[in-house]
Structure 1
């Protein structure tokens, strides 16, 4: 029921209904923040990514054509926004002269094995994107956003078999990166 409500709000917002856009953004915010947290283990980083995602939705809703579900469209923006936030955080740390992102107080990045593995995964995805960019989106949409193969194929405009093949190749490459310790 909620998904259908969001689909309707998205269609109205895409058609220029400002009130529908405001309602949509307010309603999806908790879910966007939760999903950004899947990528970024530090709450402040997830919050930054969430704000960027909501801004992207607001800016680009006019381009939502309804070919795929709004939730699929949103998952792509969340994945890209979270990865972009991570890259920006790494760039800021490097500009400040840190080899790694600085840690002043204990946080999830250094105290949690799960958090550390998320950051390792983001690094591995960065390497994969540099080597074989076409493999990243299918893997992220399947393994992190948990979309089914058919939704991914529809969104990317490629056959379902190609989606499965790319996911298989991406997983193998990411596994190698993770095992090699990046």
Structure 2
């Protein structure tokens, strides 16, 4: 069995390391929003909307659905914010809301919506390394699109755990909170997801 190409080997560097630095400010905005400060909640929306929208796009593969689900997720978050106890990070809680909404939308959307798919080209990607050549950029883009197709064939539970950890940058502990399972369960799903993806990758060669 061959490995995934080195330049997209998991975990993928889609999540920003700056997120950790923003946590104290995020917590302050959460507390202010819980007290009714709409401006503080709007700051939380601006902080997370791009990543959450991209996650919804990758899950639903439909821009229109993703936009609606992302908006619904923030509405649900605002409505439930008084009950948010902070046992998980606000961003982790948002992913849990968005994932549940994505699952619901995927089950109920019409055939017309299912046919309206997108490629990774339509999802915001991190800037390429300044030393990246045009040829290398084209190769990476092709492999990312192939990776998207591979993720789409995984069972839902395995796709969710791989997207959250490898593509969204959540820790296994955070992923366990989103999926309401144990860390050991996340580890097992990640292993099975990687194996299935590698097998699929080999077959597509």
- TM-score between the two structures when normalised by the length of structure 2: 0.56
Give the distance between the partners of 1:136 and 1:41, measured in 2 at CA: 13
Structure that is richer in helix per residue:
1
Unmatched tracts of structure 1, length 5 or more? none
Q: CA separation of 1:153/1:47 partners in 2, compared to 1, >3 Å: closer, same or farther? A: closer
Matched, 1:50 2:39: no
Q: Classify 1:53/1:179 alpha carbon distance in 2 versus 1 (closer, same or farther; 3 Å).
A: farther
Q: Is the 8 A contact 2:96 2:179 kept in 1?
A: no
TM-score normalized with structure 1 length: 0.62
Pairwise CA RMSD of aligned residues? 4.0
Residue by residue, what CA displacement relative to the aligned partner does 1:59-88 show, whole Å, maximum 9, x if unpaired?
Answer: 322332111111222223333334444444
What corresponds to 1:34 in structure 2?
A: 54
Cα distance 1:24–1:117, how it changes in 2: closer, same or farther (>3 A)? Answer: same
Aligned residue among 132, 146, 151 for 1:121: 151
1:156 Cα offset (Å): 5.3
Structure 2 unaligned spans of 5+: 1-20, 121-140
SS at structure 1 position matched to 2:85 = coil
Per-residue CA deviations over 1:114-138 (Å, capped at 9, x if unaligned) read 557636634x35xx34xxx5x5653
Query: How far, CA to CA, are the matches of 2:195 and 2:180 in structure 1?
Result: 23
Q: Distance in 2 between matches of 1:154 and 1:23?
A: 24
Deviation sequence 1:27-75 (CA, Å, 0-9, x none): 4333432333343454334322321222222232233211111122222
What is the CA-CA distance between 1:12 and the residue it aligns to?
Answer: 3.3
